[in-house]
């Protein structure tokens, strides 16, 4: 690849420029460069590729990559941040490249370790022979909070309790890879690895081709097939059980569920009846028998595990015990993550898999044993001391581990005292010096320590390894803080191959949501959120139209409110879009206030935020474009407005926001799968629009309303053009009300909304409801007949009030029928 | 000694409960030192689903699910139990506490009666430096374990005020320790925290005391409600020995075991999830009467 390039001299020069000044840190191995300063052969094509693009182009590509991540809504959540802020995914633009031969050895060693761990898992919760035979101290198991006693005896004997396993790896100065940690609870990051890959594939496609980087999709196919094969019946679906949107990796849960075609559920979406696990869907309860668990075991069942959990499924443990559901990873799998076990795994290898470990884990001694304990105390400065079971152990080990040699005398004494008194809680391990990989900073390369996480999935025939992984890179040269929570970055991991690789992707082309024709059951919670999303967006639009009227008047230099202006202000106040009494504020300031006043519950910004929140709970149902429209709306509204803003500027801003809501409506119409979920979104919009239109009529269309008010009504209902085409005259009450309320060809009329609702209702109820007519149907019929019998010339305001009330009752009835399952407890599923 | 035990646990809900699932630990079972001659647990209203099982620690477990609207839940345990406590070794001849600790740490036993389950912090009982230091005063180097532990139980009885209402079931053990007051649950969990801080295996026992003392003896604290005490592993020979810090005594003829675990959370009489909007009121009435003595509070 390098030898025959026509511009060889230039390329070599450019490459040299890239690595100019790049030097491995003293005593630390670098992935890209050897001790002599020479680039390792498997990195040459990457550097040449970058050199060929040139620094300007590379910078542009990387910017595009960041924009893509932002636009796709890839984020993770910071826990220690009070506001629980979502951070854009920090991608390091340079991949970690691993030599294919070396990768083979890693893959084999990790498969061996996964096999060992699943056998250890089965033994701990099963026959307990390793403990009974003295190979593993009982306390090294019992000390883990994740040794969940109610699960003892519930694991399959064949050792298939783990569905997915990940290992954190580091490379020492001698070039050997070491396992630093086992991830067995519910390994996170595979979805981020996939996003990294997609982003890098877009940023550097030619490099990707040239190196024949092995693709990841095959791994996910294997994972999906493995879990799907556990289903007991063909029509049952795999669920991905998430703690919910507040979890740091919720994005990944939604992303993986969508990618794998699993149903994303929270604990509240599931219910155990008669020992079986069911999904609460809009069609009633639906059985499920495989859960991909992203919720920590202890929180999974408040009845038998942590009673404080509000995010679990009461009775799940009993369902597991009865064999009616398979959870992957099996409940209690976190016990394998204890550092204490690292001290025993090497010796257990011979017993459990018949061979020595192919990849060692970091040398570890559990201080619960008298000989080890005394040896550690005798040579304390040689060790790092860490909690054996917990992440931290305040006060001494409040930030995890300590390097004994770095302690002052009193701390050192306290540590020795702790080891003596409760050595069971501690391990000692060798200090690890992580190798470094290059990161792109300010147009040049710099070495940074990293940890590599590699994922494995269980198949019927053993373990499959993801050809790549998640590389987490420290922000500083100090290797001890490799954490996404502490400002680190992530990188894609490339394993080149000799031959071109066939493109396989489970992912649809960007911008198109559906991945399968059958998107699976719609959970009640999702339907609920879609319904409210529809209502919020529609209300925001209605409020924007009101604000636009004010801004337009302000732009025309109208300062003093007319009667009509006053009516608009009144309605804005009634909807709590603003909190200032009519006539007390300048129109420009008032319209700005309507947009983004923080204290008003119903400000348009508050409505947009509510819409975005509702959507965030159901992100797996959304196209990235529709999601982007919602975040853009919020951003557009929250932009600060200069004090001397003109009416024209405000008007432009409102029009921009209206364009976004229109584009959201279009995206929902065009890009959402038009199954039940879309209908609930639509239903929400239609109900809200009907309510708003009735309210507009009451405000601007009373008998004797001025012509100007009737004009406003036409504008709010977006019906001026229709009206002018029909009636060559100024606005008159009866024809205006006919257009706005009764005209079924006007997409903003009340009648039009009712007709759409009747269509949705027909589809939802013929498929779903067993009873002859349900309360929502009856209410809709009542509404329909009430409006249909109206005569435009004598529409009474009472008619509108009645219609609004029926619409609100309808909203409640929909909620009762499909979302809260009120009364369902008495039904037998 | 044979006892008739009656416990009535009543939950009254401010708003009707539509659906509920509960796990009950209200059925005494056979254990070393006690035999259940007869036992019944009545649930009102009649549950839609009910099943009996044992939990990890061997406690009798009843799972119930109620799918009908109810404003109260009444759980009635009636049992006749024969208590024959095993002999307790002379405290001064038990092994040094450090020896017992090493044996527990090195134990090759992960079965439910093994000491290892009770060595570590549990949901309700963390290791608290202050409590460990308090306990350590009774554990001089090489001192026999039971002598040390009994002294600790006596010190707790002396240093802490028994004061119902000063704490509730959710009060953290460190708070009760700082308050220097509480009830049997607090005293037991404080003692457990201290023992575990020293590296010893200590568990939580919930159960009953006889309601009226034998003639000429004083009524014990906690006799009118469910009681709690501590179980300490004293080595493979002596095994588990019950200590009652509320009454500064060893558990014996008057102590009837209902459930055991690492702390109150493991032995809680009622765990549950209810779908309801309102609050609830709880009432527990306990009556323990020797069968061969005339019942003080009327026939059971």
CB A328 within 8 A of CB A219: no
Query: What residues in A contact B111, CB-CB < 8 Å?
Result: 128
Hunting for tokens 């409210």 — which residue is that?
A: A532
For residue range A448-486, what is the model confidence (pLDDT) as tens digits?
999 999 999 998 889 999 999 999 998 877 655 454 445
Take residue A544 and report the two structure tokens written for it. 């924007």
Residue of A nearest to B54 (CA): A150
Domain of residue B280 covers 2-83+268-290
CB B263 within 8 A of CB B229: no
pLDDT > 60? residue A503: no
pLDDT > 70? residue A78: no
Element housing A544 (H / E): helix A524-555
Exposure of B22 by Cβ count < 10 A (0-12 exposed, 13-18 middle, 19+ buried)? buried
Share of chain A above pLDDT 90, in %: 57
pLDDT band per the 50, 70, 90 thresholds, residue B262: very high
Amino acid A563: pLDDT: 85
Same domain, B163 and B41: no
CB A490 within 8 A of CB A92: yes
Are β-strands B240-244 and B227-233 bridged in parallel, bridged antiparallel, or unpaired?
antiparallel
Query: What residues in A contact B260, CB-CB < 8 Å?
Result: none
**What is the DSSP-derived secondary structure letter of residue A274?**
T
Amino acid A626: pLDDT: 85
Nearest Cα of chain B lies from the Cα of A132 at a distance, in angstroms, of: 5
For residue range A239-250, what is the model confidence (pLDDT) as tens digits?
999 998 888 888
Same domain, B136 and B45: no
The answer to whether position B141 is within a domain reads yes
pLDDT > 90? residue B298: no
For residue range A125-156, what is the model confidence (pLDDT) as tens digits?
999 999 999 999 999 999 999 999 999 999 87
Query: What residues in A contact B104, CB-CB < 8 Å?
Result: 139
- Provide the 3-class DSSP secondary structure of residue A265: strand
The answer to whether position B198 is within a domain reads yes
Nearest Cα of chain B lies from the Cα of A316 at a distance, in angstroms, of: 12
Beta-carbon separation of B55 and A150 below 8 A? yes
Amino acid A678: pLDDT: 85
Same domain, B238 and B187: yes
Interface of A with B in 368-387 (CB under 8 A): 368-370
The answer to whether position B297 is within a domain reads no
Amino acid B296: pLDDT: 47
For residue range B158-196, what is the model confidence (pLDDT) as tens digits?
999 999 999 998 899 999 999 999 999 999 999 999 999
- Provide the 3-class DSSP secondary structure of residue A378: helix
Q: How far apart are CA B194 and CA B127, in angstroms?
A: 7
Element housing A444 (H / E): strand A444-459
Beta-carbon separation of B108 and A138 below 8 A? yes
CB A163 within 8 A of CB A155: no
CB pairs under 8 A between A and B: 96
CB A370 within 8 A of CB A156: no
Same domain, B115 and B225: yes
Please give the angle made by the CA atoms of B55, B60 and B65, to the nearest 5 degrees: 85
**Within its chain, how far is the Cα of B85 from the centroid?**
16
Amino acid A675: pLDDT: 66
ipTM of the complex: 0.94
- Provide the 3-class DSSP secondary structure of residue A408: coil
pLDDT > 80? residue A305: yes
pLDDT band per the 50, 70, 90 thresholds, residue A274: confident
Amino acid A481: pLDDT: 44
Please give the angle made by the CA atoms of A801, A803 and A809, to the nearest 5 degrees: 105
Same domain, B95 and B226: yes
The answer to whether position B299 is within a domain reads no
Query: What residues in A contact B49, CB-CB < 8 Å?
Result: 274
Which CATH number belongs to the domain containing residue B78 in this structure?
2.60.40.2250
Element housing A655 (H / E): helix A647-671
Q: Taking Cα atoms as reference points, which of B53, B73, B72 lies closest to residue B63?
A: B53
pLDDT > 90? residue A517: no
SS3 of B78-140: the string is EEEEEECCCCCCCHHHCCEHHHHHHHHHCCCCCCCCCHHHHCCCCCCCCCCHHHHHHHHCCCC
Amino acid A254: pLDDT: 86
- Between the alpha carbon of residue A27 and those of residues A30, A404, A695, A754, B104, the distances in Å are 10, 21, 74, 74, 43
- Provide the 3-class DSSP secondary structure of residue A98: coil
The answer to whether position B298 is within a domain reads no
**What is the DSSP-derived secondary structure letter of residue A330?**
P
Mean pLDDT of A608-617: 88
Are β-strands A75-77 and A462-465 bridged in parallel, bridged antiparallel, or unpaired?
unpaired
Same domain, B272 and B262: no
- Provide the 3-class DSSP secondary structure of residue A160: coil
Same domain, B161 and B249: yes
Please tell me which residue, A563 or A338, carries the higher pLDDT value. Answer: A338
For residue range B23-69, what is the model confidence (pLDDT) as tens digits?
999 999 999 999 999 999 999 999 999 999 999 999 999 999 998 88
Provide long-range contacts, Cβ within 8 A and 24+ apart, for A559-565: A559/A586, A559/A587, A561/A587, A562/A708, A563/A706, A563/A708, A563/A709, A564/A700, A564/A706, A564/A708, A564/A709, A564/A712
Identify which of A315, A389, A826 has the shortest CB distance to residue B21. Answer: A315
Query: What residues in B contact A424, CB-CB < 8 Å?
Result: 105, 119-120, 199
Q: Does A149 touch chain B (CB under 8 A)?
A: yes
Q: How far apart are CA A604 and CA B16, in angstroms?
A: 39
The total of structural domains in chain B comes to 2
Share of chain B above pLDDT 90, in %: 81
Q: Taking Cα atoms as reference points, which of A721, A513, A545, A709 lies closest to residue A625?
A: A513
Identify which of B119, B132, B268 has the shortest CB distance to residue A424. Answer: B119
**Within its chain, how far is the Cα of B106 from the centroid?**
27
Element housing A550 (H / E): helix A524-555
Beta-carbon separation of A424 and B108 below 8 A? no
Amino acid B63: pLDDT: 95
Count the neighbouring beta carbons within 10 Å of the beta carbon of residue B175: 12
Are β-strands B161-162 and A426-430 bridged in parallel, bridged antiparallel, or unpaired?
unpaired
For residue range A316-347, what is the model confidence (pLDDT) as tens digits?
999 999 998 999 999 999 999 999 999 999 99
pLDDT > 50? residue B295: no
Mean pLDDT of A50-67: 89
Same domain, B44 and B104: no
What does pTM read for this prediction? Answer: 0.84
Interface of A with B in 257-316 (CB under 8 A): 272, 274, 302-304, 306-307, 314-315
Identify which of A138, A143, A303 has the shortest CB distance to residue B23. Answer: A303
CB B51 within 8 A of CB B62: yes
Q: How far apart are CA B8 and CA A446, in angstroms?
A: 71
The answer to whether position B176 is within a domain reads yes
Please give the angle made by the CA atoms of B199, B203 and B205, to the nearest 5 degrees: 160
A685-709 in b/e form (b: 16+ CB < 10 A) is bbbbbbbbbbbbbbbbbeeebeebb
Same domain, B110 and B194: yes
Omega within 30 of 0 (cis) for the link into A395: yes
Amino acid A505: pLDDT: 52
Which CATH number belongs to the domain containing residue B102 in this structure?
3.10.620.30
Hunting for tokens 């090294």 — which residue is that?
A: A140
The answer to whether position B295 is within a domain reads no
pLDDT band per the 50, 70, 90 thresholds, residue A160: confident
User: Which of the given ranges, A611-625, B55-69, B268-282, has the highest pLDDT on average?
Assistant: B55-69
The answer to whether position B296 is within a domain reads no
For residue range B98-114, what is the model confidence (pLDDT) as tens digits?
999 999 999 999 999 99
pLDDT band per the 50, 70, 90 thresholds, residue A829: very low
Beta-carbon separation of A422 and B67 below 8 A? no
For A255, phi and psi rounded to 5 degrees?
Answer: -65, -45
Query: What residues in B contact A274, CB-CB < 8 Å?
Result: 49
Same domain, B251 and B106: yes
pLDDT > 70? residue A289: yes
Interface-testing mutation among B48, B105, B262, with chain A (most A C-beta atoms within 10 A): B105
Provide long-range contacts, Cβ within 8 A and 24+ apart, for A661-667: A661/A537, A661/A540, A661/A541, A661/A544, A661/A629, A661/A633, A663/A629, A664/A537, A664/A626, A664/A629, A664/A630, A664/A633, A665/A537, A667/A623, A667/A625, A667/A626, A667/A629
Q: Count CA atoms closer than 13 A to B271's CA, side-chain side.
A: 22
Nearest Cα of chain B lies from the Cα of A142 at a distance, in angstroms, of: 6
Interface-testing mutation among B24, B51, B98, B120, with chain A (most A C-beta atoms within 10 A): B120
Nearest Cα of chain B lies from the Cα of A422 at a distance, in angstroms, of: 6
User: Which of the given ranges, A556-565, A760-769, B239-248, has the highest pLDDT on average?
Assistant: B239-248
Element housing A75 (H / E): strand A75-77
CB A544 within 8 A of CB A664: no
Amino acid A484: pLDDT: 47
pLDDT > 80? residue A825: no
pLDDT band per the 50, 70, 90 thresholds, residue A379: very high
Q: Taking Cα atoms as reference points, which of B253, B199, B223, B67 lies closest to residue A419?
A: B199
Q: Does A126 touch chain B (CB under 8 A)?
A: no
Same domain, B212 and B77: no
Please tell me which residue, A79 or B139, carries the higher pLDDT value. Answer: B139
Amino acid B280: pLDDT: 86
Are β-strands A238-242 and A75-77 bridged in parallel, bridged antiparallel, or unpaired?
unpaired
Take residue A456 and report the two structure tokens written for it. 């494995």
Same domain, B63 and B155: no
């Amino acid at each position: 690849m390098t030898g025959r390039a026509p511009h060889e001299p230039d390329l070599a020069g450019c490459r040299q420029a890239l690595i100019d000044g790049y030097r491995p840190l003293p005593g630390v191995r670098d992935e890209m460069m050897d001790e002599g300063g020479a680039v390792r052969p498997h990195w040459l094509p990457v550097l040449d590729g970058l050199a060929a693009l040139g620094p300007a182009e590379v910078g542009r590509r990387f910017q595009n990559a960041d924009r893509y991540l932002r636009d796709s809504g890839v984020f993770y959540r910071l826990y220690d941040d009070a506001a629980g802020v979502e951070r854009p995914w920090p991608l390091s633009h340079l991949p970690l490249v691993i030599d294919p031969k070396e990768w083979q050895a890693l893959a084999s060693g990790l498969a061996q370790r996964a096999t060992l761990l699943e056998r250890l898992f089965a033994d701990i919760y099963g026959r307990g022979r390793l403990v009974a035979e003295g190979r593993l101290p009982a306390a090294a198991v019992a000390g883990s909070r994740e040794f969940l006693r109610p699960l003892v005896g519930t694991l399959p004997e064949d050792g298939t309790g783990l569905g997915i396993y990940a290992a954190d790896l580091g490379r020492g100065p001698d070039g050997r890879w070491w396992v630093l940690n086992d991830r067995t609870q519910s390994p996170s990051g595979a979805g981020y690895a996939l996003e990294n890959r997609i982003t890098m594939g877009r940023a550097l496609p030619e490099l990707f081709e040239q190196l024949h980087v092995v693709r990841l999709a095959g791994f996910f196919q294997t994972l999906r097939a493995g879990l799907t094969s556990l289903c007991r019946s063909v029509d049952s679906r795999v669920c991905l059980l998430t703690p919910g949107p507040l979890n740091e990796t919720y994005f990944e849960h939604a992303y993986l569920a969508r990618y794998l075609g699993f149903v994303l559920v929270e604990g509240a979406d599931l219910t155990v009846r008669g020992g079986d696990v069911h999904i609460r869907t809009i069609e009633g309860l639906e059985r499920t028998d495989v859960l991909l668990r992203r919720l920590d075991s202890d929180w999974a069942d408040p009845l038998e595990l942590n009673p404080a959990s509000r995010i679990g499924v009461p009775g799940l443990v009993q369902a597991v015990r009865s064999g009616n559901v398979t959870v992957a990873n099996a409940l209690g799998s976190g016990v394998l993550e204890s550092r204490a076990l690292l001290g025993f795994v090497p010796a257990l290898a011979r017993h459990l898999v018949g061979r020595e470990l192919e990849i060692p884990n970091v040398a570890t001694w559990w201080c619960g044993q008298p000989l080890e304990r005394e040896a550690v105390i005798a040579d304390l400065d040689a060790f790092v001391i860490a909690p054996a079971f917990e992440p931290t152990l305040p006060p001494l080990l409040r930030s995890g581990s300590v390097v004994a040699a770095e302690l002052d005398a009193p701390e050192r004494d306290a540590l020795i005292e702790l080891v003596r008194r409760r050595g069971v809680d501690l391990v000692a391990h060798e200090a690890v010096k992580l190798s470094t990989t290059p990161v792109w900073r300010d147009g040049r390369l710099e070495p940074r320590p990293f940890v590599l996480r590699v994922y494995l999935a269980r198949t019927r025939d053993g373990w499959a390894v993801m050809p790549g992984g998640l590389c987490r890179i420290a922000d500083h040269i100090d290797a001890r803080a490799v954490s996404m929570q502490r400002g680190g970055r992530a990188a894609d991991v490339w394993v080149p191959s000799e031959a071109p690789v066939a493109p396989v992707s489970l992912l649809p082309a960007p911008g198109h949501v559906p991945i399968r024709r059958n998107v699976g059951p719609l959970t009640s919670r999702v339907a609920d959120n879609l319904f409210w999303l529809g209502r919020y967006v529609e209300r925001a639009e209605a409020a924007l139209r009101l604000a636009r009227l004010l801004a337009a008047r302000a732009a025309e230099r109208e300062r003093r409110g007319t009667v009509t202006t006053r009516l608009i202000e009144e309605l804005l106040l009634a909807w709590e879009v603003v909190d200032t009494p009519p006539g007390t504020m300048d129109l420009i300031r008032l319209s700005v206030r309507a947009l983004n006043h923080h204290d008003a519950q119903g400000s348009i910004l508050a409505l947009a935020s509510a819409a975005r929140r509702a959507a965030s709970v159901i992100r797996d149902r959304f196209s990235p474009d529709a999601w982007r429209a919602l975040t853009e709306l919020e951003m557009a509204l929250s932009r600060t407005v200069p004090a001397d803003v003109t009416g024209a500027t405000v008007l432009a801003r409102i029009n921009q926001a209206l364009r976004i809501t229109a584009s959201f409506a279009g995206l929902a119409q065009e890009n959402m799968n038009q199954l039940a979920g879309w209908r609930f979104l639509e239903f929400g919009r239609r109900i809200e629009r009907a309510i708003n239109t009735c309210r507009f009529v009451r405000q601007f269309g009373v008998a004797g309303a001025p012509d100007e008010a009737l004009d406003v009504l036409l504008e709010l209902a977006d019906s001026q053009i229709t009206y002018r085409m029909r009636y060559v005259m100024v606005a008159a009450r009866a024809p205006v009300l006919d257009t706005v309320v009764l005209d079924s060809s006007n997409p903003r009329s009340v009648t039009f909304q009712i007709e759409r609702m009747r269509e949705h209702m027909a589809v939802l109820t013929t498929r779903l409801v067993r009873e002859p007519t349900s309360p929502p149907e009856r209410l809709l019929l009542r509404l329909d007949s009430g409006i249909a019998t109206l005569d435009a010339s004598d529409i009474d305001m009472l008619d509108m009030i009645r219609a609004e009330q029926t619409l609100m009752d309808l909203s409640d009835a929909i909620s009762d029928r499909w979302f809260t399952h009120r009364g369902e407890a008495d039904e037998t599923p | 000694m044979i006892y008739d035990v009656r416990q009535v646990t009543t939950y009254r809900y401010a708003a009707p409960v539509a659906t509920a699932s509960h796990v009950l630990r209200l059925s005494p079972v056979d254990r070393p030192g006690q035999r259940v001659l007869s036992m019944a647990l009545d649930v009102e209203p009649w549950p839609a689903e009910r099943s009996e099982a044992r939990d990890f620690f061997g406690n009798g477990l009843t799972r119930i699910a109620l799918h009908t609207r109810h404003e109260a839940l009444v759980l009635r345990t009636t049992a006749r139990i024969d208590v024959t406590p095993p002999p307790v070794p002379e405290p001064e001849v038990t092994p040094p506490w450090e020896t017992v600790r090493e044996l527990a740490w090195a134990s090759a036993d992960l079965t439910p009666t093994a000491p290892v389950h009770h060595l570590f912090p549990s949901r309700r009982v963390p290791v608290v430096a202050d409590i460990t230091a308090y306990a350590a005063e009774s554990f001089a180097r090489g001192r026999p374990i039971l002598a040390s532990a009994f002294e600790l139980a006596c010190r707790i009885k002396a240093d802490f005020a028994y004061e119902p209402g000063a704490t509730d079931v959710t009060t953290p053990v460190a708070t009760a320790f700082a308050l220097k007051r509480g009830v049997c649950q607090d005293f037991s969990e404080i003692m457990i925290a201290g023992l575990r801080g020293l590296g010893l295996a200590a568990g939580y026992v919930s159960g009953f005391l006889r309601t009226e003392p034998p003639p000429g003896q004083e009524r014990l604290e906690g006799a009118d409600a469910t009681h709690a005490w501590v179980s300490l592993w004293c080595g493979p020979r002596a095994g588990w020995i019950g200590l009652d810090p509320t009454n500064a005594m060893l558990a014996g003829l008057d102590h009837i075991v209902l459930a055991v675990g690492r702390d109150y959370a493991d032995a809680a009489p009622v765990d549950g999830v209810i779908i309801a909007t309102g609050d609830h009121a709880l009432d527990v009435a306990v009556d323990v009467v020797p069968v061969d003595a005339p019942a003080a509070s009327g026939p059971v």
